[in-house]
Structure 1
Amino acid sequence: MTQIPRGADIAVPPQALHVAVSWRTGYGVPDVDVSALLLGAGERVRGDADLVFYNHSGHPSGAVRHLGKSAPGAPGSPAADWLWLDLARVEPEVGRIVIAASVDGGAFGQVPELDVRVTDAAGTSVAYCAMGGATTETAFVCGELRRQGGGWRFRATGRGYASGLAGLATEFGIVVEPPPPPIPGPGYVPPRPAPAPAAPLVPLPRPLPVPPHVPMAAPLTDPLPVPWVDPYDGEFRPASYQGRGKETVRCDPALPPGRWVLLEIESYHSLSTTIEACDAHGRAEGYLLAAYEDDVRARTVALVPRTRPLTLRVEADAPWTLRVLPLSHARRFDSHVEGLAHDLVIYDGPSGVLDFVHRGESRFTVHQHTPPQDPLYDDEEQELLVNGIGEVRVGAPVPGPGLLRISGDGPWKCAVRR
């Protein structure tokens, strides 16, 4: 682990990185939220979209994403809030990325073992810095990534603010809306409105008499229509869960029902890593992912049930991290895409033929997911487009837009046949 003191900097590779602000939980310890600000000319943001945090989880360029927190454990256990950055995709006019953290309902003096960590895509440590010594600060600039000499360097900062995330964001050019007026406290009596002019009395018509011994029929009413939801839609705050071995993950009940969510899992030095969907009784009912590589960084998809929280069964021989993300974090393509092993891609193109090439040794499959045809049921439509072993070159007809769930053990390519 490369530990650097505050004020020091270190070169970082211009590639995908994970940045985590970590702390130790406990009774009375406030929750910590991480954010990133992309700064352009004048060391200012270019607009609100340059602030990436839990309520705006992805930058339009695709270079920065907020991944969410690790699952909270027992008091005294470590916790972290994560960002993902791809420095190769940062727009040329952005010269600095500020990594900030904030708390609500407390101060950083109540947060033990605060630090910032930078790792590469394989989990190898790039930089680490402890952020001790805080008192009344409610926001912290933990570090920053800055262009220098054609590359990037990470600098550990540790500068505190007493004005929270809003004050920090304002310093870098974000326009923060003023808070709503306070709600009056106990004893407040609102002024009585002026009485409205009385409306003239209009006699009601007398009801027609009902013939004796003839029961009145109940009024005919149409059943309430079942609202249709677009499974591609629905933003929410990403969440992260950690475990080891076989565990059942009960996701946030606030996940939008009837929508797809992106599942992203990491596990290293495990014989196998699997994710299964569970039924209403918590019983596993179908694999969403089955990976048998030693080191797994994989993506798949799940459909949130309409009437109950999403429940998953995760199993690996080593510690694993599962992230539940909005589908907007998935990659899109309409003509060409490349990937490695297990991934999920949104296909936006028309019906046609997709040409796949897989260079691996084990099974290679491609499933297409399309929305449920009946809005009363959660069952999405799945079609197996490709099922091969090892080196695969195949063309697969595709009926139109949908999700492509791709599973293999090596690099693959896909192109639309013209």
Structure 2
Amino acid sequence: MTQTPRGAGIAVPPQVLHVAVSWRTGHGVPDVDVSALLLGSGARVRGDADLVFYNRTDHPSGAVRHLGRSAPGAPGSPAADWLWLDLARVEPEVERLVVVASADGGSFGQVPGLDVRVTDAAGATVAYRAIGDATTETALLFGEFRREGGGWRFRPVDQGYATGLAGLATDFGIVVEPPPPPIPGPGYVPPSAAPVPPPPRAAPPGPVADPYGGEFRPATYQGRGKETVRCDPGLPPGRWVLLEIESYHSLSTTIESCDAQGRAEEYLLAAYEDDVRARTVALVPRARPLTLRVEADAPWTLRVLPLSHARRFDSHIEGLAHDLVVYEGPSGVLDFLHGGVSRFTVHRHAPPQDPLYDDEERDLLVNGVGEVRASAAVPGPGLVRISGDGPWKCAVRR
């Protein structure tokens, strides 16, 4: 594959892009954590929200998302950590968007097969550069997107830092607080004159813990056509996970759950739009890993996320086509309005009544075609899975 020379800027299309920092796994190979920094004037961030990483996955503008790391395979297999960009949505005061990464528990000299790749939504390579000269660096600035001539250009940088992500972030204006002092062990008696340390600053806000799901590291899977996805066995058993899929220029995009033998069992999503960015939900089996069958006519990207990443509402919410939302209000009536032309359905999911079985409780609240106005009573908080082909609205009556 042709490399983009270091420091050479190439024009990139003003559309959705994916950025992947890739490497090969192995014994003693550090994990790689990718982040994005949005820089204003003076090459500085405007605030903490301009750092997008695994603990703050979405920029407020909607222009940058941290998608998560692809599930690791056997030692020596490829791995990647992913960013999603929509350069058309970057705020005008942002002049540069830099892609950085840190090596967790080691240096980049211990990471084989390191490279950075920019692709368009269809998977075509826009820019690529292999990184082969890293040594003791614990953080790297891989490249930057820069405004130029009314458009955007990408430039590989390959600048290393020996002070980790904290040192790199400080250079761009992020205030990094020192870690709190260690907690003394049993029997420790503090000296009377010892100063009282100030309380540690709160950690950056991450996804809110969800009573229905469990927290875990998001994972990203990519494929084309029909493929079976065997998810990380470390997913919380008996809990829900959020599935998010993207596919463009496909006649249909479907996700099915699989039984213990890997056979397709039940549709979790069936979308028939040309361009799909949809969300649905899956229940992780208690006795085996979650296995999914994904099919599309074009390249697809599937993300498995904690349910805490789902949208929430208690009075009103709007969306497009297929989504999974969390209703957090009390008992009431949900009024739906759908503006598409095909079938529109709404399901409510509830936890299994018998904790020894994986079968969740599911109610069909709405089932109509085309422009639908419908109402359904709900007993209280729960998951609401919406499926349609057009814009929809939901308002709550109590």
TM over 0.5: yes
Contact 1:96 1:146 in 2 (8 A): yes
1:87 paired residue number: 87
2:13 paired residue number: 13
3-state SS of the aligned residue for 1:92? coil
2:195 paired residue number: none
1:56 paired residue number: 56
1:239 paired residue number: 219
Q: Distance in 2 between matches of 1:154 and 1:33?
A: 20
3-state SS of the aligned residue for 2:390? strand
Distance 1:12 1:110, change over 3 A: same
Q: Distance in 2 between matches of 1:117 and 1:110?
A: 20
Q: Distance in 2 between matches of 1:191 and 1:416?
A: 57
Distance 1:251 1:287, change over 3 A: farther
- 1:15: Cα distance to partner? 3.0
Contact 1:346 1:404 in 2 (8 A): yes
Contact 1:2 1:126 in 2 (8 A): no
Letter in 2 for 1:323: R
3-state SS of the aligned residue for 1:358? strand
Distance 1:399 1:280, change over 3 A: farther
Contact 1:34 1:99 in 2 (8 A): yes
Letter in 1 for 2:338: F
Letter in 2 for 1:165: L
Contact 1:55 1:237 in 2 (8 A): no
Q: Distance in 2 between matches of 1:235 and 1:395?
A: 36
Gaps of 5+ in 1: 195-228
How many residue pairs get aligned? The number is: 370
- 1:60: Cα distance to partner? 2.8
Letter in 1 for 2:76: G
Gaps of 5+ in 2: 192-208
- 1:292: Cα distance to partner? 6.3
Distance 1:358 1:253, change over 3 A: same
3-state SS of the aligned residue for 1:88? helix
Contact 1:12 1:153 in 2 (8 A): yes
1:382 paired residue number: 363
2:340 paired residue number: 358
Q: Distance in 1 between matches of 2:391 and 2:3?
A: 39
Letter in 2 for 1:85: L
- 1:6: Cα distance to partner? 1.1
The 5-angstrom pairing of residues 1-400 of structure 1 reads 3-181=3-181, 231=211, 236-242=216-222, 245-247=226-228, 249-251=230-232, 253=234, 255=236, 258=239, 260-266=240-246, 274-277=254-257, 286-291=266-271, 297-303=277-283, 311-316=290-295, 321-327=301-307, 329-330=309-310, 337=318, 339=320, 342-344=322-324, 351=333, 353-359=335-341, 364-372=343-351, 379-388=360-369, 392-399=370-377
3-state SS of the aligned residue for 1:177? coil
Q: Distance in 2 between matches of 1:294 and 1:176?
A: 44
- The TM-score normalised by the length of structure 1 is 0.72
Contact 1:31 1:103 in 2 (8 A): yes
- The TM-score normalised by the length of structure 2 is 0.75
Q: Distance in 2 between matches of 1:328 and 1:283?
A: 29
3-state SS of the aligned residue for 1:165? helix
Contact 1:236 1:256 in 2 (8 A): no
Contact 1:2 1:125 in 2 (8 A): no
Q: Distance in 1 between matches of 2:12 and 2:241?
A: 32
3-state SS of the aligned residue for 1:109? helix
* Stretch of structure 1 that moved more, 365-374 or 120-129: 365-374
CA offsets 1:225-281 (integer angstroms, 9 cap, x no match): xxxx955776543112356755352445354964x4320235689886543346789
Distance 1:152 1:235, change over 3 A: farther
3-state SS of the aligned residue for 1:83? strand
Q: Distance in 2 between matches of 1:373 and 1:25?
A: 37
* Percent identity between the two aligned chains: 66
Q: Distance in 2 between matches of 1:193 and 1:169?
A: 35
Letter in 1 for 2:162: A
Q: Distance in 1 between matches of 2:128 and 2:91?
A: 26
Q: Distance in 2 between matches of 1:353 and 1:154?
A: 46
Q: CA RMSD in A?
A: 4.1
3-state SS of the aligned residue for 1:42? helix
3-state SS of the aligned residue for 1:126? strand
3-state SS of the aligned residue for 2:49? helix
Q: Distance in 1 between matches of 2:124 and 2:161?
A: 31
Higher percent of residues as strand: 2
CA offsets 1:156-197 (integer angstroms, 9 cap, x no match): 11111111111111211222232355799xxx9976799xxx
Which of 1 and 2 has greater Rg?
1
Contact 1:68 1:82 in 2 (8 A): yes
- 1:25: Cα distance to partner? 2.5
Contact 2:253 2:276 in 1 (8 A): yes
Q: Distance in 1 between matches of 2:318 and 2:383?
A: 13
